[in-house]
C-alpha cells in the first residue's frame, strides 16, 4: 500500500509542477488557458477559481489515471477562436513567447529538483563517513595502492581541482560519474598522520551500466566496518559452526581479518573445485578468543559459485551528519541537479550509439518500487528520490522528439532560422515517428522492469 501511495503522490506532484510551468508562463505571456489537467481519463474532480486573472477562464481538473497531464490553451489550430480573443491564442504569440511556454514545463521540473535537493541539504542527512573498506582483490583500487582504513579527504577528476568529500555517498557519486564517463579519478586520502594522493584509472572500466559488478571492478564496495558478526540465521553455516551475534572475527585460517568488507570477500572466495573449504576462525567473544571450524554453504551468484554463512557480516559504519547553510544548500542543490542532468543525457547518448546497455532504462514498475522503498526509509530519502525523478522528467521532455517539449522547441528553432513554420504534413510525419520511438522506449523500459522485479 505504501508503494502505491508513494508512487501516485510522486507522479501527481511532478506532473502538476511540470504543467504548472507551462500554465504560469502562458498566463504571463497573455495566452488564455482553457484547462489545466493532472491525469487523463475520467474526471475525478474539477473546479474553477472564483477569481481568475484578466482574460482567463481556466478549468482545473484531476483525472483518474495520473500518468500525465496537459495544459489546453486557446489555439486556432484546435478550434474556432472569436476575433476579439485572437490575441489570446497560443498560435498568434511571438516565437519567443511560444518557446518560453513550451520550455517552462521541463524548467519547472529542474527548478523543483534544485529545491528538493536544497531542502535535503538544509535538513541534513546521516551518511557513512568516507572511510574505505579493504579493496577487492585485483581491483583498480588495490592496484592503485589502497589497503583499507584510509579516510578520503578530497576527490575529483584528473586535471581538475579536488573538492572536499564529506561522506561515502559523495565518493560513490564521483566514482559512478568517472566510470561512466571513462575519466580517471584522483583521491586525497589519509591514514593516521600520513596523507597521499591516489589515482584510480577508471578509463579502463568501460562499463555499459551501473550495477554491482561495476563497483567490484573498481574495488570500492562500501565504507569501512568492523569485522563483526550480526544476526545469524538458524540452521545456516554460521549457526552450525557456533558463531554468535557480536563475535569479532580476528582471522580465518592464516588470513588476518581487518574489516567487514575483507571478511565478506574471504567468505565469498573460500572455494576449491566448486566446494567450500572448512577453515578455522579465531573470534573474540566476551573478552575470550575462541577457535571455531566453519564450513560455508555454497550459493549460486549468476554463473559463479560463492560461499555464504547465513549471517549479517559487518557492523554499521560510522556516520556523519552532512548539512549545508541556506546559500550553500541551494548552490549544492543546483550543482547536483546539473550533474544528474548531464549524466542522464550522457547515458542516453551512449545508449543511442550502443555504448551503454538498454538495461539502464527504467519504467513505471521500477519507479514505483523505488518510490515505496525510499518512502519506507523516511522523508529525506523520499525527497531525494523525487528530486532524481524530477530531473529525469525534465531532461526527458527536453529531448528533440516531436511529441515532447524538446521536439516543439526544435520546430521553433527551425522557424527562427528559416522564417517559416514546419508544414502540417511534416508535422504529422514527425509526430508519428516520435510516437513510435517513445513506444519502443516504453516497451524496453517495461521489459526491464519485469526482468528486474520478477526475473
Average confidence (pLDDT) over 307-335? 92
pLDDT of residue 345: 83
Give the pLDDT confidence of 430-454 residue by residue, as tens digits.
Answer: 778 877 877 777 777 677 666 766 6
Range 229-315 has CATH code 2.70.70.10: no
**Percent of all residues in the chain with a pLDDT value above 90, rounded to a whole number:** 43
CB 280 within 8 A of CB 291: yes
pLDDT digit string, tens, across residues 127-174: 999 999 989 888 899 999 998 889 999 999 988 899 999 999 999 989
Q: What is the CATH code of the structural domain delimited by 140-218? A: 2.30.42.10
The arithmetic mean of pLDDT across residues 77-105, rounded, is: 91
Q: pLDDT value at position 375?
A: 66
For residue 271, what are the β-bridge partners?
276
Per-residue pLDDT for 206 more than 80?
no
Residues 65/40, Cβ–Cβ less than 8 Å: yes
Domain with CATH 2.30.42.10 in the chain: 140-218, 229-315
Residue 54's Cβ-count burial label (10 Å; 0-12, 13-18, 19+) is exposed
Cell triple for residue 66? 495520473
**Residue 333 near residue 414 (C-beta atoms within 8 A):** no
CB atoms within 10 A of CB 241: 18
| Burial group, residue 354, by CB count within 10 angstroms (0-12, 13-18, 19+) | exposed
Nearby residues of 156 by Cβ (< 8 Å), 6 or more positions away: 162, 163, 174, 185, 186
Look up the pTM and report it.
Answer: 0.82
343-362: average pLDDT: 70
Question: In three state form, how does the secondary structure of the chain look?
Answer: CHHHHHHHHHHHHHHHHHHHHHHHHHHHCCCCEEEEEEEEEEEEEEECCCCCCCCCCCEEEEEEEEEEEEEEECCCCCCCCCHHHHHHCHHHCCHHHHHHHHHHHHHHHHHHHHHHHHHHHHHCEEEECCEECCCCCCCHHHHCCCCCCCEEEEEEECCCCCEECCCHHHHHHHHHHHHHHCCCEEEEEEECCEEEEEEECHHHCCCCCCCHHHHHHHCCCCECCCCEEEEECCCCHHHHHCCCCCCEEEEECCEECCCHHHHHHHHHHCEECCEECCEEEEEEECCEEEEEEECCEEEEECCEEEEECCEEECCCCCEEEECCCHHHHHHHHHHHHHHHHHHHHHHHHHHHCCCCCHHHCCCHHHHHHHHHHHHHHCHHHHHHHHHHHHHHHHHHHCCCCCCCHHHHHHHHHHHHHHCCCCCHHHHHHHHHHHHHHHHHHHHHHHHHHHHHHHC
Query: How many whole angstroms separate alpha carbon 438 and alpha carbon 448?
Result: 15
215 falls in which pLDDT band (50, 70, 90)? confident
pLDDT of residue 365: 57
Does pLDDT of 360 surpass 80? no
Q: Write phi, then psi, for 152 (nearest 5 degrees).
A: -85, 120
Q: What is the pLDDT of residue 368?
A: 61
Residue 19 known to be catalytic? yes
- Which of 19, 188, 265, 279 is the catalytic position? 19
Amino acid at each position: 500500500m505504501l508503494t502505491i501511495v508513494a508512487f501516485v503522490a510522486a507522479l501527481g506532484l511532478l506532473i502538476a509542477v511540470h504543467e504548472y510551468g507551462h500554465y504560469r508562463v502562458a498566463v504571463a505571456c497573455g495566452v488564455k488557458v482553457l484547462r489545466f489537467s493532472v491525469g487523463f481519463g475520467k474526471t475525478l474532480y474539477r473546479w474553477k477559481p472564483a477569481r481568475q486573472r484578466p482574460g482567463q477562464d481556466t478549468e482545473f481538473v484531476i483525472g483518474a489515471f495520473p500518468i500525465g497531464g496537459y495544459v489546453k490553451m486557446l489555439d486556432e489550430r484546435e478550434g474556432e477562436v472569436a476575433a476579439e480573443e485572437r490575441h489570446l491564442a497560443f498560435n498568434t504569440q511571438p516565437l519567443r513567447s511560444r518557446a518560453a511556454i513550451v520550455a517552462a514545463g521541463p524548467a519547472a521540473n529542474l527548478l523543483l529538483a534544485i529545491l528538493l535537493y536544497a531542502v535535503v541539504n538544509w535538513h541534513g542527512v546521516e551518511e557513512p563517513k568516507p572511510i574505505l573498506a579493504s579493496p577487492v582483490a585485483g581491483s583498480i583500487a588495490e592496484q592503485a595502492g589502497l589497503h583499507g582504513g584510509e579516510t578520503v579527504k578530497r576527490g575529483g577528476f584528473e586535471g581538475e581541482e579536488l573538492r572536499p568529500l564529506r561522506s561515502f555517498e559523495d565518493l560513490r557519486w564521483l566514482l559512478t560519474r568517472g566510470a561512466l564517463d571513462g575519466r580517471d579519478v584522483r583521491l586525497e586520502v589519509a591514514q593516521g598522520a600520513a596523507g597521499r594522493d591516489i589515482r584510480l584509472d577508471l578509463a579502463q572500466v568501460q562499463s555499459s551500466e551501473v550495477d554491482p559488478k561495476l563497483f567490484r571492478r573498481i574495488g570500492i564496495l562500501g565504507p569501512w566496518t568492523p569485522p563483526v558478526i550480526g544476526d545469524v540465521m538458524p540452521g545456516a553455516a554460521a549457526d552450525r559452526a557456533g558463531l554468535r551475534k557480536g563475535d569479532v572475527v580476528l582471522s580465518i585460517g592464516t588470513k588476518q581479518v581487518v574489516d567487514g568488507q575483507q571478511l565478506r570477500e574471504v567468505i565469498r572466495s573460500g572455494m576449491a573445485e566448486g566446494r567450500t573449504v572448512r577453515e578455522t576462525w579465531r573470534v573474540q567473544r566476551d573478552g575470550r578468543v575462541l577457535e571455531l571450524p566453519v564450513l560455508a554453504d555454497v550459493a549460486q551468484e549468476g554463473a559463479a559459485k560463492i560461499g555464504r554463512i547465513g549471517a549479517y557480516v559487518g557492523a554499521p559504519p560510522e556516520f556523519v551528519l552532512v548539512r549545508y547553510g541556506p546559500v550553500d544548500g541551494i548552490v549544492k542543490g543546483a550543482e547536483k541537479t546539473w550533474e544528474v542532468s548531464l549524466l542522464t543525457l550522457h547515458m542516453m547518448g551512449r545508449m543511442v550509439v550502443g555504448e551503454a546497455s538498454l538495461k539502464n532504462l527504467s519504467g513505471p514498475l521500477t519507479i514505483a518500487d523505488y518510490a515505496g522503498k525510499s518512502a519506507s526509509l523516511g522523508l529525506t530519502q523520499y525527497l531525494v528520490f523525487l528530486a532524481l525523478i524530477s530531473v529525469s522528467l525534465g531532461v526527458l521532455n527536453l529531448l528533440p522528439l516531436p511529441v515532447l517539449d524538446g521536439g516543439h522547441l526544435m520546430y521553433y528553432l527551425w522557424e527562427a532560422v528559416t522564417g517559416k513554420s514546419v508544414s502540417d504534413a511534416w508535422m504529422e510525419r514527425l509526430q508519428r515517428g516520435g510516437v513510435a520511438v517513445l513506444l519502443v522506449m516504453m516497451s524496453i523500459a517495461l521489459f526491464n522492469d519485469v526482468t528486474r522485479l520478477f526475473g
